[in-house]
Homo-oligomer: A and B are copies of this chain.
Amino acid sequence: MLTHLDEHGRARMVDVGEKPETHRVAVARGEVWMAPETMAAIREGSLPKGDVLAAARIAGIMAAKRTPDLIPLCHPLPITRVQVDFALHDPDEAHPLPWVEITAQVETVARTGVEMEALTAVAVAALTIYDMAKALDRRMRLTNIRLIEKHGGRSGDLVLEP
């Protein structure tokens, strides 16, 4: 059953008032695939001033805080930590194009988890990279945005990728 729907199929923000406040962590990850020249420009642009990835990092951190404003049924949460990291990769077997890997870790002490905050941070950081490079390359794609692990709360530890 989808918990965000009531017995009549209507959307609702589920009740978390009975759940205890515990320390919770979520890590999400995603990728932006791009042409080799685009990756070259980002690599160059990120040295020495770093503004491409710096802008994407700030956008991702700010978006994590805006999550309940964007996702209709998300609970507002007092986020205690956000970290957004990037790794620049050359093509490999699973990636036919150069790609930026984005990882966001979000933590809170709250009655519900921060998976959506971590996923939103990754998605908005990825959108920001697209925006900053789109004059060069409109074929970039945002892909493989998923949850990597979560800790805390009733469901305990969940590690989807080692």
Interface residues of A (CB under 8 A from B): 1-6, 8-17, 23, 30, 41-42, 45, 47-52, 54-55, 57-59, 61-63, 65-66, 68-85, 107-111, 115-116, 119-120, 123-124, 126-128, 130-136, 138-147, 150, 158, 160
Contacts and interface: CB of A to CB of B under 8 A. Distances in A.
Given A10-B51, A54-B54, 19 more contacts: A9-B51, A11-B52, A11-B57, A12-B81, A12-B83, A13-B83, A16-B80, A30-B142, A49-B50, A58-B58, A65-B76, A70-B127, A71-B131, A73-B128, A74-B131, A80-B111, A123-B142, A142-B146, A143-B143
Nearest to A42: B2
Contact of A51 (B3, B11, B123, B138): B11
Nearest to A47: B48
Please classify the interface of chain A as helix (H, G, I), strand (E, B), loop, or mixed, using the class held by over half of its residues.
Answer: mixed
Interface centre among A2, A65, A146, A147 (most CB of B within 10 A): A2
A75 to B, nearest CB: 7
